[in-house]
Amino acid sequence: MPLPDKVFNVLLDGLSELALLRLPDHPPAKALPAVALVWEKVLVKAAEWSDEDAGRLAAAFTVFSANAERFPLPKDILHYLPPRPLPPPLPAPDPAPCPPEIKAQLDALTAGLLINKKTEV
């Protein structure tokens, strides 16, 4: 399965920008599309990707670029990949009181559990 288009475009941009830095081990400019395809294979095997991951990959390239001493391997960029944002919190519980018939059933179940627990000892 290929990378989503947004993520692949970020990959191309990141590799192109790094190539402009002329870091040691950088590929020739005409080889960048082939390099991107190889990177795509590696990245797809390393993680699942969605369009929302484009920003994370861009951030990883930015942080790596600030510290780069040589052209990276895919694992170098993955090292700088920030975690996905946490999902939104669950909604607050419904403050409505428990209906009396349900409360009675729960109380009976709880009492039964406590009685069984005491007799097992």
- Whether pLDDT at 120 is above 80: no
**Residue 30 within any structural domain of the chain:** yes
The total number of structural domains in the chain stands at 1
Q: How far is CA 35 from the centre of its chain?
A: 23
Please give the pLDDT value at position 43: 96
Does the predicted model carry a pTM greater than 0.85?
Answer: no
Task: Let me know if 15 is exposed, middle or buried by CB neighbors in 10 A (0-12, 13-18, 19+).
Answer: buried
Cα four-point dihedral sign 89, 91, 95, 96: negative
Q: What does the pLDDT look like over 82-113, one tens digit per residue? A: 999 999 999 988 878 888 898 889 888 888 77
Domain ranges, residue 32: 5-79
pLDDT band at 115 (very low <50, low <70, confident <90, very high): low
Residues 63-86 have pLDDT tens digits of: 999 989 999 999 999 999 999 999
Q: In Å, what is the CA distance from 97 to each residue of 1, 90, 91, 108?
A: 49, 19, 17, 18
Residue 109 lies in a domain: no
Is residue 72 assigned to a domain? yes
Torsion of CA 46, 16, 28, 8, to 10 degrees: 40
Q: What is the mean pLDDT of residues 45-63?
A: 95
Which residue's entry shows tokens 């294979």? 41
Residue 34 domain flag: yes
